[in-house]
């Protein structure tokens, strides 16, 4: 079997971290099996769907490296939906219902008040042809429900949650089409999964009850259902479901200097029994991806953890991978010297300013003579070699200083900072003339 997965966002907003995780896991499962990852734009809601969001979804997936092998749009597939819908109506599996939303809500409240589950009572099936004709003559347009088969339990083995069982008698017949003719999510999704040959559906656990209803739709349409994997939802770092997670999207992470590899590395393992590793290459993440490793507990997303993973990935990136984003003048030697001190690539500009200057350094009075001596020594060094160790060795011998008393005044005078990249790598970048001038000024 060729594995085919799909990511099916609605273009009613930007992708958020939960959407990204779903897309990633569908992509990884397809990649691991040598299969196909598809994008389906669920744009049946014409009023809320926006083309700008379609474009942003594509761009975000490309940025993350999750480029699909193909794309479908539900708005271009209405003819197919009509055909399959008509089959279900003819088979008696879809029926018209005429209650208003207010009537349904009132019935729901009555049932809840009696301590009963708010299950639709199928009153529409009790209407005679004459009663339906009267309603329609009065201008009442029906919505349409899928008629669940109450004869057998709905069962499947979820790839994450294990054996699942639902009693369809405890479920309301789901509405699949509104009175205005527009489609709800459930039925078009099933029709598309059949038509696109989807073999695996990876989505959040909030869809479990949807899956129960959709399994009967697959059967009613004469199709084998895909395998389902329902993941535990993400929670915020405070341990609760967080609305803020819905606002954390690719733009937010780009602005924060987060690399796409860091997002992939974190989300690939989040919610599994495997440790999060700062792997810049997705190949080992794909190789180890296994639904059996996913737990049932909510997966905790922490931006601080993402930032840590990001820093460790930045430290692995070669010059060629980042050259276009570095400040003008920074070469491979500059990147190699500065990279270990970065949390994000954007910080490279700050450290390059340290190299090129100007640098403001406030030397302690007791270090003034020491720094003047350092400037004199620097003027005599062979800068083609290892000027930092030559400078510190000479000063240690001539002044008797060592440790912090030796190194800190030099670092402050040369960089204006107490901490930073290895001075042995940084000093050659600063260069002879700038180094002598900074040491002399510091003294």
Q: Which residues are annotated as a binding site for ATP?
A: 243
Tokens 């003034």 correspond to 368
Residue from 96, 85, 23 nearest 60 by CA: 23
Q: How far apart are CA 313 and CA 325, in angstroms?
A: 16
Pull the structure tokens for residue 340: 């270990």
The phi-psi region of residue 222 (left if phi > 0; otherwise alpha if psi is between -120 and 50; otherwise beta) is left
Contacts 24+ apart (CB under 8 A), 286-294: 286/28, 286/31, 286/32, 287/32, 289/25, 289/28, 289/29, 289/32, 291/29, 291/159, 291/160, 291/229, 292/159, 294/160, 294/229, 294/231, 294/232
Pairing of strands 200-204, 234-235: unpaired
Q: CA angle, corner 307, sides to 302 and 309, nearest 5?
A: 95
Asked if residue 49 lies in contact with residue 10, where contact means CB atoms within 8 angstroms, the answer is: yes
Q: What is the DSSP string of 74-135?
A: GGG-HHHHHHHHHHHHHTTSEEEE---HHHHHHHHHHHHHTT-------GGGG--HHHHHHH
Tokens 């039925």 correspond to 187
User: What is the four-CA torsion angle of 309, 314, 320, 325, rounded to 10 degrees?
Assistant: 110
Tokens 């040369």 correspond to 414
Pull the structure tokens for residue 166: 């639902």
Residues annotated within the binding site are 243
Helices (H) and strands (E) in the chain, counts: 19, 12
Cα–Cα distance list, 404 to 10, 71, 178, 256, 394 (Å): 59, 61, 75, 34, 16
Q: How far apart are CA 247 and CA 240, in angstroms?
A: 15
């Amino acid at each position: 079997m060729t594995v085919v997965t799909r990511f099916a966002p609605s273009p009613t907003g930007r992708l958020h971290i939960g959407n990204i995780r779903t897309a990633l896991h569908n992509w990884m499962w397809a990649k691991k099996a040598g299969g196909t990852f598809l994008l389906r734009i669920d744009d049946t809601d014409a009023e809320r769907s926006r083309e700008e969001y379609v474009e942003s979804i594509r761009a975000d997936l490309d940025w993350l490296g999750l480029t699909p092998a193909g794309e479908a749009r539900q708005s271009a597939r209405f003819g197919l939906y009509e055909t399959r819908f008509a089959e279900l109506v003819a088979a008696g599996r879809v029926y018209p219902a005429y209650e208003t939303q207010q009537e349904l809500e009132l019935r729901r409240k009555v049932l809840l008040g009696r301590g009963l589950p708010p299950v639709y009572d199928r009153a529409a099936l009790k209407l005679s042809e004459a009663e339906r004709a009267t309603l329609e003559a009065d201008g009442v347009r029906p919505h349409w429900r899928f008629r669940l088969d109450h004869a057998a339990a709905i069962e499947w083995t979820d790839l994450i949650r294990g054996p699942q069982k639902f009693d369809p008698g405890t479920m309301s017949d789901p509405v699949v089409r509104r009175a205005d003719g527009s489609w709800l999510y459930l039925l078009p999704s099933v029709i598309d999964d059949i038509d696109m040959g989807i073999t695996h559906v990876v989505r959040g656990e909030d869809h479990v009850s949807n899956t129960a209803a959709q399994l009967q739709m697959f059967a009613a349409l004469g199709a084998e259902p895909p395998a389902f994997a329902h993941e535990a939802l993400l929670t915020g770092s405070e341990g609760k479901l967080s609305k803020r997670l819905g606002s954390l999207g690719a733009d937010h992470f780009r602005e924060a200097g987060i690399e796409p590899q860091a997002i992939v590395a974190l989300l690939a393992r989040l919610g599994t029994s495997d440790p999060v590793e700062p792997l810049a290459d997705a190949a080992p993440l794909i190789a180890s991806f296994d639904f059996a490793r996913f737990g049932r507990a909510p997966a905790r997303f922490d931006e601080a953890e993402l930032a840590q993973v990001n820093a460790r990935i930045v430290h692995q990136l070669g010059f060629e991978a980042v050259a276009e984003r570095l400040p003008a003048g920074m070469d491979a030697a500059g990147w190699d010297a500065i990279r270990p001190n970065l949390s994000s690539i954007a910080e490279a500009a700050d450290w390059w300013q340290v190299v090129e200057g100007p640098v403001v350094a406030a030397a302690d009075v007791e270090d003034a003579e020491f720094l003047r001596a350092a400037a004199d020594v620097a003027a005599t060094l062979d800068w083609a070699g290892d000027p930092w160790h030559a400078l510190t060795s000479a000063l240690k011998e001539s002044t008797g200083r060592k440790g912090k008393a030796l190194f800190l005044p030099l670092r402050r005078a040369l960089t204006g900072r107490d901490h930073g990249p290895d001075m042995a790598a940084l000093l050659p970048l600063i260069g002879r003339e700038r180094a002598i001038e900074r040491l002399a000024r510091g003294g």
